[in-house]
Chains A and B, each alone.
Chain A
Amino acid sequence: MKNFREIEQLSAYLDGQLNPTESARLESRIESDPELASVLSDLRFTRGLLRKLPKRKAPRNFALTRKMVGLKPPLPRTYPIFRLATVFATILFVASFSLNALSSMGGAAAPAAAPLGIGGGGGGGCSDCGITTEQYAATEAPSLEMAPAATEAPAESAASDSGPAVTEEATRIMDATATPEAIASPKEAPLPEATAMEPAPDSTDQTQIQNEAPFSIPWTMIFLSVSILGGISMALMRLNARRKWQ
């Protein structure tokens, strides 16, 4: 038996893989060495058998379908814009809804404490929770303006030389007329510092609580509508593209 290096050379020679020099050298050795010639003959015979193996036809067609390779129908060029808008609107809707919900939860706790500070009375019931800033202003303003009216009245009554009864009457009239003004612009009223400055922080707190809701309900609804409409449009585009593709 020849060594493997020689067999490897014979195999390569059989396939014409040796360069001319190597081939010539091997050929001269094959002529002088019958064993080498026999091995070459065996290798050629084996290769011949393999080459004569019948070629089988494919038993079926291997052509691929779009489903097999996971191909998706080409979508319109506007599809990414719709997708971006829908995603953006959905994010905004979720964010606005969550923030509004959080701020309303915070706002529900604040009014419960607020009447205690302003009116000094009870009002801790939850019926007050839903009262808006305007309602608070309307109910609390008269009591707040009562003091300045009372202090101003003597100055006016002194000028007109009227009695205390007239002063009280004038106070009532002024209260009735000055209250809306006091609500609209509290600074216009010549309030003494001790009485006029105290209620101001309370009323601004209330408006801040309401202003903390970053999105009004119409905006939230707009975001929701855009996200729903975008989703529907995308589904229709995909359906249409698939129908055309098939």
Chain B
Amino acid sequence: MDENALINSAQKGDLDAFNTLILHYQDTVFNTALRILSDEDAAQDAAQEAFISAFKSITTFRGGSFKAWMLRTVTNACYDELRRQKRRPTTPLEPETSDGEEMDSPKWLADPNMTPAEKAEADEIEHAIQHCLDALPVEFRSVVVLADIQGMDYTEVAAAAHVPLGTIKSRLARARLRLRECLRSFEELLPASFRLERESA
């Protein structure tokens, strides 16, 4: 895929070229939105909004990392969604246990190649991490999602989050520190492999 050629065509209004870029980035964009918003439907809406907004403003893209530019767009869409949720809070329709806690959603990890034990393990890890991510302030959450989950370097995260590099360093350190504290309370839930890894480290 010649990304630059596709971007140039998209800048001239070629929607098919932009759709090729979407096919390449849609998993990354959706995952980012999912980790920031912690809701699949909201993440889908944010991803779609981000792609529409990106196509409309693609003429403003002046080179550099298209992935960073795209993730900045989806991060902004997530901020908009969170603001909207704040204005109009909704009650989730997830089924609850008798204790009033939300039941684990089996569709969360619908990977047919995993064994039931692996699924359970992954489910535990994912829920624990997502719970701790949700506890972070949104600006910390977005930085940690972009740097640690999407694997972007500091410069890309700074471009995506539209904040200086020093702020990224600081936010990331604070976010990791808070996550570490939060995950300690889930230590017994974490799989043995992770506990051993930690001990060995």
Contact of A64 among B19, B35, B194 (CB under 8 A): B19
Contacts of B13 in A (CB 8 A): 71
Contact with A along B19-60 (1 / 0, CB 8 A): 100110011011100110000100010011001100110000
A72 vs B40: C-alpha distance when bound (angstroms): 32
| Interface of chain B residues 113 through 158 with chain A (CB within 8 A) | 122, 125-126, 129, 144, 147-149, 151, 153-154
Judged by a CB distance under 8 angstroms, whether B198 is at the interface is yes
Evaluate contact between A44 and B173: CB separation under 8 angstroms: no
Contacts of B56 in A (CB 8 A): 69
Number of interface residues of A (CB under 8 A): 36
Evaluate contact between A11 and B169: CB separation under 8 angstroms: yes
Number of interface residues of B (CB under 8 A): 49
Judged by a CB distance under 8 angstroms, whether A188 is at the interface is no
Contacts of A54 in B (CB 8 A): 109, 111, 122, 126
Contact of A63 among B23, B30, B148 (CB under 8 A): B23
Judged by a CB distance under 8 angstroms, whether B197 is at the interface is yes
Given contacts A10-B173, A55-B27, 4 further A-B contacts (CB under 8 A): A12-B173, A15-B153, A45-B194, A51-B148
Q: Can you list 25 pairs linking A and B with CB atoms under 8 Å apart? A: A8-B173, A15-B153, A15-B154, A41-B198, A42-B198, A43-B176, A43-B180, A44-B201, A45-B194, A45-B198, A46-B176, A46-B179, A51-B149, A52-B125, A53-B125, A54-B111, A54-B126, A55-B31, A56-B34, A58-B47, A62-B26, A62-B51, A63-B22, A64-B52, A69-B55
